[in-house]
Amino acid sequence: MAAPTQRLLWRQLTRATSRSASRSASSPCLRLTSTSPASAFARTSKASSPPPEGSNVKFWPFVVIIVLGSLGYTFLVTRRAEMPAIDAPKKADALGAPPKSTPTFSADDVTVVFVLGGPGAGKGTQCANLVADYGFHHLSAGDLLRAEQDRPGSQFGDLIKDYIKNGLIVPMEVTVQLLENAMVAAIDSSGKGEIAGKKGKFLIDGFPRKMDQAHKFEESVCPAKFVLFYDCPEAEMERRLLNRGKTSGRTDDNAESIRKRFRTFIETSMPVVDYYEKLGRVIKVDATPKPEDVYKDTQKQIAGKGI
Ligand SMILES: Nc1ncnc2c1ncn2[C@@H]1O[C@H](COP(=O)(O)OP(=O)(O)OP(=O)(O)O)[C@@H](O)[C@H]1O
Ligand SMILES: O=c1ccn([C@@H]2O[C@H](COP(=O)(O)O)[C@@H](O)[C@H]2O)c(=O)[nH]1
């Protein structure tokens, strides 16, 4: 080490050591023992003066500090790796997710239509019409998450509450499993492996909101037929949500949460729409007009799509 650097380090260390030594004199908790490296330094640096050029300075305390620091760091990193992450996929296993590589349902047996659009675009409103006229079974990802959040004993309750309030996307394992469970339950409760005399037809509302969800669902649950995308300007969606917030009781129908939801929609969910658009699998409907007109347009656009 160059001599000036040596002297600088020495000065800094002896200054720190003498400060801590003087504190220890008045505090019973901070006492330097005769065997500690710091006290050794305090003793060897009586005059607190830098060593003369070329003096035989002991550097073993530096080595001890570096070695102890490295060991501590390695220990913390190892502990961190062993700790379960808050969104660890393992948690979803508690919902009954068996690892698999083929979808639970074939697209030949079950029709899945994803319904996307910004918060407040009117997805739920249009889904209600489609259920009435086309015999769809409606599954809203947001509703399923809220139900799981409120389910007594749910280990995901707090996590979901937090994500929804902040307009964030709940880790996909949770949502995909809730959807699959709901599809299985709907088909089972029909008693014939069918719904309303038809093969299962599902409108999956407000999903997939993130690319990983889209892949996971199509790979492990069911390939989707197409995406129904309700396109609406942000100002109109905000107006609708603030209005709905007067009575909905939803924790995320307030100005702050709405802002966060819009950001998530632009940054995370629009890429999903763009992805399906590139594949030619999106039916886009202008959601700005009044609900009846939006529905008429929806019907026109899905005509001949085999549903
Ligand atoms: N075309 C429309 N014109 C005016 N208001 C509408 C229209 N469609 C729905 N609304 C109203 O806007 C609010 C939001 O609609 P809706 O709940 O259907 O939206 P959403 O897209 O499902 O919302 P979120 O994603 O937040 O669940 C509701 O109060 C609804 O009555
Ligand atoms: O796939 C999903 C869908 C929804 N969420 C969370 O739920 C809220 C509310 O969803 P709505 O469709 O508006 O009812 C949404 O803001 C997300 O926080 C999700 O995490 N994953």
The residue whose CB lies within 8 Å of the most ligand 1 atoms, and thus the one to mutate among 240, 264, 288, is: 240
- Give the type of residue at 301: Q
Lining ligand 1 with CB less than 6 A are 117, 119-125, 142, 206, 240, 243-244, 287, 290-291, 294
Residue 235 φ/ψ region, left for φ over 0, alpha for ψ in the -120 to 50 degree band, beta for the rest: alpha
pTM of the model: 0.74
- Span 177-230, pLDDT tens digits: 999 999 999 998 876 666 555 568 999 999 999 999 999 999 999 999 999 999
- Span 66-82, pLDDT tens digits: 777 777 666 555 444 43
Say whether 11 counts as a known binding-site residue.
no
Say whether 244 counts as a known binding-site residue.
yes
Ligand at shortest distance from the CA of 242: 1
Q: Which domains does the chain have, with CATH numbers?
A: 112-302 (3.40.50.300)
- Span 96-132, pLDDT tens digits: 666 667 999 999 999 999 999 999 999 999 999 999 9
Q: Among the atoms of ligand 2, which is closest to the Cα of residue 261?
A: 16
**Averaged pLDDT, 261-279:** 98
The residue whose CB lies within 8 Å of the most ligand 2 atoms, and thus the one to mutate among 252, 254, 256, 257, is: 252
